[in-house]
Amino acid sequence: MIDKKHNAYWIETYGCQMNIAESNALELSLIEHGISKAKRGEEADCVIINTCSVRKTAENRIWGRIGFYKHLKEDHDLTLIITGCMAERLHDEIIEMAPAVDHVIGTNDKYRIAAILSGASDERKEEYTFTHNYHKMGDISSFVPIMNGCNNFCSYCIVPYVRGREISRSVTSIIEEVKRLEDLGVKEITLLGQNVNSYNYTENGILYQFPDILDKVVREATQVKWIRFESPHPKDFSPDLISLIAKEEKLPHHLHIPLQSGSTKILTAMRRKYTRDSFLALISDITRAIPDMTYTTDVMVGFPGETEDDFNETLSVINEVKFIEAFMYYFNPREGTKAVEMSHQVPIAIRMERLNRLIENQRALTKEHKLKRCNDTVELLVEGKAKKNKEHYLGRSEHNEMIVFEPKKPLQNGEVVTVALSGLVGNTYKGTLI
């Protein structure tokens, strides 16, 4: 189907960092095709909603946005496109239930959108294709996707069904993008993948696994301050990776590493392929090699079969590791996953009650950590001026902490400065430039 030509687009993005990176790439492609960005959705002649399907709450929000733009279309000439994981999972249902949607384009077909909107061809491809540009100009931080999809098939997760099996990006393509970002003045790069440390690619007869490509990026990106990666799977976190982080200054001493549950019984039912003990052993190995390492995590409560004892095991792991922050949620059944069919579903009231206890527990740990840090001195990457007080600046630390501080002179985004922490404003540190 060839659509009319369009002049102004608006993109709404939901879900993971990969979706954000892919929306950035889509936006750059639209601009290359002569389509400019509208000031807001109501002023666009094309709206693209890049969707998430990990939890039902995310999908419910998308249905609400479709309803909003349906009403807008009644007196506005507008093309509405739904793309991403929800479009992949519910393609036929969206077409049937939402006639206001003009195109439903799955996860692997996002590259087609610019061609459709510019009136060019609409040729499909069979598998996920990496682009060569995911960076929004002017930003000092950038995402670099290095792999897509997942082979793990955790029993609760929809990702393998909507993003497909793992596919790794070529070494040459990754390094070319990293060098281009460096030329643009980018100071922080985050390598992305649904299971980033399962990266596996053979080029010129050489096998590159995740520590290999990470080491190559570190050596090539000589002007980049920090190189991060998300999200690693605990089962694929190798000793070589720990050693590399310990020796390379460009690799921050901060990791987001999903726990999901502290109960081996529940982890087995989740098909996570590690145990409570092996997770704690991994954290111990990392901390032994890198004593100042900090951790954030993902935690699910109320998985089918979870008892009060299982939940308490999760709390005990969280209290032992002392995650500085956590993304916490209760089990949300996704049609098409194995967990939907499991017996001993936990009642929603119990799931919510456990989640509330988990949140309170984590809030106490986060506050304890932040208060301990309030007299420390840290290096920051300057990200810009504070929103509330334009006399102050915002920066981010190696441990991914946001700090607002008073400068002694005007600063440029991307500068590296040293700040003495002096207190907290909500969850944001206050500091003074040294």
Same fold, 131-252 and 289-373: yes
Helix (H) or strand (E) holding 159: helix 159-163
Q: Which parts of 169-307 fold into alpha helices (H)?
A: 171-183, 210-220, 239-247, 264-270, 276-289
Q: Do 220 and 179 contact (CB within 8 A), yes or no?
A: yes
Residues 6 or more apart whose CB falls under 8 angstroms from that of 78 comprise 44, 45, 46, 47, 69, 72
Distance CA 87, CA 51 (A): 7
pLDDT for residue 121: 57
Check residue 313 and give its pLDDT: 98
Cβ neighbours for 277, distance < 8 A, ≥ 6 positions apart:
264
Paired with 145 in beta bridges are: 192
pLDDT for 176: 95
Q: Tell me, which fold does domain 8-118 have in CATH?
A: Rossmann fold (3.40.50)
CATH number of 289-373: 3.30.750.200
Instruction: Delimit the domains of the chain by residue range.
Output: 8-118, 131-252, 289-373, 377-433
Quote the tokens at residue 67: 């309803």
The CATH H-level (homologous superfamily) assignment of domain 377-433 is Nucleic acid-binding proteins (2.40.50.140)
pLDDT value for 102: 95
Instruction: Give SS3 for 419.
Output: strand
The domain 131-252 having CATH identifier 3.30.750.210: the answer here is yes
Would the pTM of this model clear 0.75, i.e. be above it? yes
pLDDT (0 to 100) of residue 124: 62
Each of the 434 residues of the chain gets a pLDDT tens digit; together they read 445 668 899 999 999 999 999 999 999 999 988 999 999 999 999 999 999 998 888 899 999 999 999 999 988 889 999 999 999 999 999 999 999 999 999 988 888 898 888 876 555 655 678 887 787 767 899 999 999 999 999 999 999 999 999 999 999 999 999 999 999 999 999 999 999 999 999 999 999 999 999 999 999 999 999 999 999 999 999 999 999 999 999 999 999 999 999 999 999 999 999 999 999 999 999 999 999 999 999 999 999 999 999 999 999 999 999 999 999 999 998 888 999 999 999 999 999 999 999 999 999 999 999 999 998 999 999 999 988 888 899 999 999 999 999 888 889 999 999 999 999 988 889 999 98
The answer to whether the bond into 231 is cis (omega within 30° of 0) is yes
